[in-house]
Structure 1
Amino acid sequence: MSDTVIQVENLGKKYIIGQQQESSYSYKALRDVLADSAKSLGRRLRHPGKPFVSSNQEEFWALKELSFEIKQGEVVGIIGRNGAGKSTLLKILSRITEPTTGRIRLRGRVASLLEVGTGFHPELTGRENIFLNGAILGMSRVEINRKFDKIVEFAEIAKFLDTPVKRYSSGMYVRLAFAVAAHLEPEILVIDEVLAVGDVAFQKKCLGKIENIARREQRTVLFVSHQMAAIKSLCSRVIVLDSGQLKIDNSPQAGINFYLKNLETVVNRQAISALRRTGTGALKLIDFWVEDSSSESIGTVVSGSDITLKFSYYRNTIAPLNKVVLGFSLHTSLGDILSIVYSDYMGVSFSNLSTKGEISCQIKDLNLSKGRYYVGVRILVNQVEADWPRGYVGFIDVEDGNFYAEGRTPHSGIGPILIRGKWQATDTSKPQKLLTKNDS
């Protein structure tokens, strides 16, 4: 018997996107409804069997011609930019929505964790929702009773077990939902990013459980996440989606590299102004670049060199701006934070800034190893958030340099941070003389 548990063939999902043309206050009279109905009937008679899309609507293919197979016991990561079709794929696999074209074949019971609180009734208690969710997953009451204590222990909600879940925080929702889905022994477990809601300790606990489910119990896991480190450590394969199409199905490292390369192209093209941002808007970032020690704009920097990060801003208010603080963060290609630096860490803040200007941060003797590092920015005015672009405003490409001043290139796999130290060897083979009162 084949060990294939998920088979996807030419899968496609189409949505019709409507564009509102009339004013929100407009209305249709009866004659308009009758006229529209007559037009629709005429089109159907002229083009029988062909669906009609009006001029103020357009087709959007969330998935298109998608085909792949997944074997029993595989942990498959599904990655891609927002809108790539990841969640749509999981909803089809979970039988929440039907595909427009193609078909899927599933062998075994599927447990899904797609959104916080999916499958829970807000008026029921945590205890009641365990039985409800278990029943939805196809478990008998005897099976649920057998696993009940383990579910409660894992979710860490014993104190609130008989409280309606509508009073739960999002983290409590996720803990209970994951505990139910993971402990009721589905053949296929589908997880879509929801673990990002929980705290760090619970995330580690969940990742450990996923690893146990896949490796020891030989169950299949589909894992959608933007945390590349988790994808790399957990998954045996990675599928990359872009605009609803499969771009690569390969090893985790190959898949992550492909995704990051595509992401770099997008980041490079994307203007800072296009990023979603929060804050008062009193002072806004409009550009970011890197300069060398000669104040020349550069695309690549060298380890051990002196560089300056330049942040161009625009002032949107005539009110006085006091205690302006700019902070930036450095991230690895996997999304891990290397450092977060604010100007007031060094006791520096700015006042009376002009309408347009630049804030710079000089970094001497750059101690980053070869690689690409992404930059995030946040601006505070008098301890109130003024601008926070939610995404990377750019990146810094670093090449190997003479950081150790000996002409030596560091060994591979050293990590992102370069450290100099003063080295010394001490001879401990000879007995040390002990001081006495007479010696002092």
Structure 2
Amino acid sequence: MSLSINAEQLCKRYKLGLTHDGSIRELANRFFARFANPRHRKVAQLGEDQRRKCGDHFWALNDVSFQVGEGEVVGIIGKNGAGKSTLLKLLSRITSPTSGRAEIYGRVASLLEVGTGFHPELTGRENIFLNGTILGMTRAEIRHQLTEIVAFAGIEKFIDTPVKRYSSGMKVRLGFAVAAHLNPEILIIDEVLAVGDVEFQKRCLGKMRHVAESGKTVLFVSHNLTSIRNLTTRCIVLSKGRVAFDGNTNEALQVYVQENLQTNDETDSVEHASRSFPGLSRDLEFVRLQLGGLHDRDTLQVGRDFQLNTTIRANELTSHFLLGLTVYAQDNTPIGSTFTEKLTPPKIGSSHEYHFQSKFDLAPGRYHCAISITDANSEGQRIYDSVAGVLPFSVELSASDIRGWNAGWGAIRLPELQRSATANSFQMSPLAGPLPSTRHTPRPQTSVFES
């Protein structure tokens, strides 16, 4: 199979902090300090610490190597800060690698930021020609596809109106419509399918699926695991600037989800775990989360009760609260959700243990949870604390039990949680969870860039 991309030991290092701060004397002192103290010049290798920094430098990518064949559609996933966007910028030649090299065979088009180059004073029609030119299209190509671009964006009525009068959604749709009609041999896409409303996103996915099936080479970065699964058969997982996995998409998604799960210590403490949303007040906060009734610590047999034990601490005076629980499959597909009824918070400065149980008819497989503490009187608008990727567990059949929900039957409605006999009895209200050909083209001249 012919190659479209060949990356060899790509590395990218950035300087931390300001490059020209302080007085001339301070700059001179730092300059001479580099020669007087060799340790001052040390650059951290990836893995020395979690933040990948030492001294004044940071490794965004370190020793990344892979090959992409002609006509392949490859997904790239990883946590924020894993190096995905940096890698795409290197391959798009927006920036140069610190070391290593990449060989690109063919015409490259990059969709790294939708709507780049739009001028607010120009009309939508004029911005199509401007934006298309920036993305590498010729005027003849733009003129030939103008009608299709306008129809795809759904702004025929406003095409001769200045863009400054467009809504933010209209601008994004127009920007993607232009980018979606590029005709390169290699297409590099970075998180552009999360634009517009639901209808437009479906249209975008259909267009990208058509591009993928047309024999073009596609690199696709997204946090939308469903899109990754639908559009790609191979996936590269980046972790802390390195390639953690390169292979089958389903296996890659399992590696990615497993990496994002919160790992608990022996006390199951989540007090210092990362939170799902920024700006949480944590007037009420989780101190400990634990699943009970398990076999071998993390295995729940089909037909057994799902038991949740949690310790919650009150840091401020609050009213009654609810707990919301969502169960996810291993690939991060939501299976179902449920809520408790109103609970009484602990006294300020104290903690209290809460115990719940229910019966979830889950198919055999791997699962994890997200759980939140919500003000009971805010209709879900005020969240005190929330953690995701916690409480990983497996469901398996016992030797004498073949019951269970087959994963192919779709999502389920989870029954309500009930207070354990060891605590005061009360009932909980349920909430249904969300449902959950290659053509040969001439090989253009090879372009090579390296450090």
Q: TM exceeds 0.5?
A: yes
SS in 1 for 2:368: strand
Equivalent residue for 1:299?
A: 298
| Cα shift readout 1:339-394 (whole Å, capped 9, x = no counterpart) | 12222xxxx21245433213443203x30111222211222222141324363233
Q: How does 1:17-32 map to 2 (within 5 A)?
A: 17-18=16-17, 28=22, 32=23
Equivalent residue for 2:384?
A: 387
- CA drift at 1:229: 2.8
Give the 3 Å change call, closer, same or farther, for CA 351–376 of structure 1 in structure 2. Answer: same
Q: How does 1:68-79 map to 2 (within 5 A)?
A: 68-79=66-77
- CA drift at 1:193: 2.0
Taking the aligned partners of 1:272 and 1:117, their CA distance within structure 2 comes to 41
Q: How does 1:271-350 map to 2 (within 5 A)?
A: 271=270, 273-276=272-275, 277=277, 278-292=279-293, 298-318=297-317, 321-343=318-340, 348-350=341-343
Structure 2: any 5+ residue segments left out of the alignment? 45-52, 414-451
Taking the aligned partners of 2:366 and 2:372, their CA distance within structure 1 comes to 20
Give the 3 Å change call, closer, same or farther, for CA 284–45 of structure 1 in structure 2. Answer: closer
- CA drift at 1:286: 2.4
SS in 1 for 2:319: coil
Equivalent residue for 1:425?
A: none
Q: How does 1:17-416 map to 2 (within 5 A)?
A: 17-18=16-17, 28=22, 32-34=23-25, 36-37=27-28, 40=31, 43=34, 57-165=55-163, 168=166, 171-215=169-213, 217-264=214-261, 267-268=263-264, 271=270, 273-276=272-275, 277=277, 278-292=279-293, 298-318=297-317, 321-343=318-340, 348-351=341-344, 353-354=346-347, 355-364=350-359, 366-381=360-375, 382-383=377-378, 384-389=381-386, 391-401=388-398, 407-408=401-402, 414=408
Taking the aligned partners of 2:107 and 2:189, their CA distance within structure 1 comes to 14
Q: Provide the aligned C-alpha RMSD in A.
A: 3.5
Give the 3 Å change call, closer, same or farther, for CA 191–303 of structure 1 in structure 2. Answer: same
SS in 1 for 2:219: strand
| Cα shift readout 1:115-161 (whole Å, capped 9, x = no counterpart) | 35434345544333221121012222121011111112112233443
Taking the aligned partners of 2:165 and 2:310, their CA distance within structure 1 comes to 43
Give the 3 Å change call, closer, same or farther, for CA 315–297 of structure 1 in structure 2. Answer: farther
Taking the aligned partners of 1:94 and 1:36, their CA distance within structure 2 comes to 34
The amino acid across from 2:307 in the alignment is T
Contact between 2:363 and 2:406, CA under 8 Å: does it hold in 1?
no
Contact between 1:80 and 1:86, CA under 8 Å: does it hold in 2?
yes
Would you tell me which structure has more helix in proportion to its own residues? 1
Taking the aligned partners of 1:87 and 1:137, their CA distance within structure 2 comes to 18
The amino acid across from 1:275 in the alignment is S
Over the matched positions of the two proteins, sequence identity in percent amounts to 42
Taking the aligned partners of 1:36 and 1:362, their CA distance within structure 2 comes to 63
The amino acid across from 2:305 in the alignment is D
- TM-score, with length taken from structure 2: 0.76
Contact between 1:227 and 1:335, CA under 8 Å: does it hold in 2?
no
Give the 3 Å change call, closer, same or farther, for CA 412–349 of structure 1 in structure 2. Answer: closer
- CA drift at 1:316: 1.6
Taking the aligned partners of 1:359 and 1:46, their CA distance within structure 2 comes to 56
Contact between 1:127 and 1:162, CA under 8 Å: does it hold in 2?
yes
Contact between 1:228 and 1:256, CA under 8 Å: does it hold in 2?
yes
Contact between 1:283 and 1:379, CA under 8 Å: does it hold in 2?
yes
SS in 2 for 1:194: coil
- CA drift at 1:415: 5.2
- CA drift at 1:164: 4.7
Tell me which structure has the larger Cα radius of gyration: 1
Taking the aligned partners of 1:285 and 1:3, their CA distance within structure 2 comes to 53
- CA drift at 1:195: 1.7
Taking the aligned partners of 1:289 and 1:122, their CA distance within structure 2 comes to 54
- TM-score, with length taken from structure 1: 0.78
| Cα shift readout 1:392-413 (whole Å, capped 9, x = no counterpart) | 23323222248xxx73366976
Worse-matched range after superposition: 54-63 or 252-261? 54-63
Contact between 1:188 and 1:221, CA under 8 Å: does it hold in 2?
yes
- CA drift at 1:314: 1.3
Taking the aligned partners of 1:272 and 1:166, their CA distance within structure 2 comes to 47
Contact between 1:272 and 1:393, CA under 8 Å: does it hold in 2?
no
Taking the aligned partners of 2:92 and 2:117, their CA distance within structure 1 comes to 12
Worse-matched range after superposition: 299-308 or 273-282? 273-282
Contact between 1:113 and 1:177, CA under 8 Å: does it hold in 2?
no
Give the 3 Å change call, closer, same or farther, for CA 122–44 of structure 1 in structure 2. Answer: farther
Taking the aligned partners of 1:390 and 1:209, their CA distance within structure 2 comes to 35
Aligned residues: 393
- CA drift at 1:297: 11
The amino acid across from 1:59 in the alignment is H
- CA drift at 1:203: 2.5
Taking the aligned partners of 2:307 and 2:329, their CA distance within structure 1 comes to 19
Give the 3 Å change call, closer, same or farther, for CA 389–380 of structure 1 in structure 2. Answer: closer
Contact between 1:330 and 1:340, CA under 8 Å: does it hold in 2?
yes
SS in 2 for 1:391: strand
